[in-house]
Amino acid sequence: MRNLQELKRWIDTIIKVGPYIIVFEVVIGAIMAVASSQVKAIDTLWFGILVFSIVVFIALNIFKFINEKSFPKLLIENIENEINKDNLTKSFARKSLINEAISSTLIGLNDQTCKLTNKADPFYQDEEDISNRMCEKDIEDGILNLLNPYLSNLHFILESFNSKYTVATYLSDIATENTMQNNVETKTGIYVIKDDMKLKTVLQWDLFENSTLTAEKQEIQNILRLSKNNNRFEKGSFTFNGELYSLFSTPIPIVCDDNYADGLFIVICESIDTFPNDTEEIFRIFNRILANWISKYNECVYSRINFKNQ
């Protein structure tokens, strides 16, 4: 930036001249002290030296005052304006990325779901079509495919330099097909969606309910329970293998009811102190989409079993 270069030139000048001015001030001060102690009358040489040194000292201070007055305040203001403009540009770009991620995720939700329950519906799918739909995939793969636009932009959402994240969900009563008995079972536990941080061993399946955990897992459990039991966004930290991590936990609501948590969406990264104020709301938006996906996933599983049992 041109303004920044001009400010740098001004500072460089001050740095170069500054030491000489200090030395000159010390010399003038010493001369004034000696001269004042030697003055016996106004017509002596020492009196002339004293007057001269006083005049030089006053001139030096006038020079310093003028130089300080010439401090490029306008440059500072221009730099501040440029920084604010840059921040606004970055903020706009971040919002655009987030909006695009929301849009892509909604499209992904529509692509993965279909009408599965009403056999009279002209768009009802036969078993082969159902088998190739969302409930045939692992839950982890389905959620990863759904939320990929969101997960790939977590560093923008959190405004963090971290590029690696471990992402998981705690799901309650998720429908699972028992192929041996041709019926539906429900499972509750932690599903690890993405594990850049290599923390899968910490996020064990029964982490939320287990009462015999190690200290670091207990730290994670406390954050998750606080989030789910109070149905609120929580940001906490825990230590594992000597490293400090930040953990974000956001409730996954029951479809059409934000007052009750049906699960949790969990994001873990290297420790960060600050994050944007809108982080909670952004997480909640994607969790509402995820809640609809979970509802459709359960519907898909039940539809497959009903079809087989007819």
What φ, ψ does residue 29 adopt, rounded to 5°? -60, -40
Residue 76 within any structural domain of the chain: no
Q: How confident is the model over 79-90, as pLDDT tens digits?
A: 565 555 555 455
Q: How far apart are CA 199 and CA 291, in angstroms?
A: 25
Tokens of 304: 């497959």
Whether residue 193 contacts residue 167, with contact meaning beta carbons closer than 8 Å, is answered with yes
Whether 273 and 137 map to the same domain: the answer is yes
Helices then strands, each counted (H, E), the chain: 8, 5
Check whether residue 48 and residue 91 sit in a common domain: no
Query: Final residue of a domain: which of 28, 46, 71?
Result: 71
- Are residues 61 and 186 both part of a single domain? no
Going across the sheet that includes 243-254, the strands are 183-195, 166-178, 257-270, 243-254, 234-240
Span 70-122, pLDDT tens digits: 655 555 565 565 555 555 455 656 666 677 776 667 666 666 654 444 444 44
pLDDT of residue 117: 44
Statement to judge: residues 243 and 277 lie in one domain: yes
CATH of the domain at 202: 3.30.450.40
Q: What's the mean per-residue pLDDT of the chain?
A: 78
| 20-24, 86-90, 243-247: range with highest mean pLDDT | 243-247
Same domain as 162, residue 286: yes
What is the distance between the alpha carbons of residues 14 and 291, in angstroms, rounded to a whole number? 62
CB 101 within 8 A of CB 274: no
In a domain, 147, yes or no: yes
Per the domain annotation, does 183 fall within a domain?
yes
Whether 112 and 260 map to the same domain: the answer is: yes
Phi, psi of 214 (to 5 degrees): -70, 170
> For residues 144 and 162, what is the distance between their CA atoms, to the nearest angstrom?
19
More confident residue, 69 or 154: 154
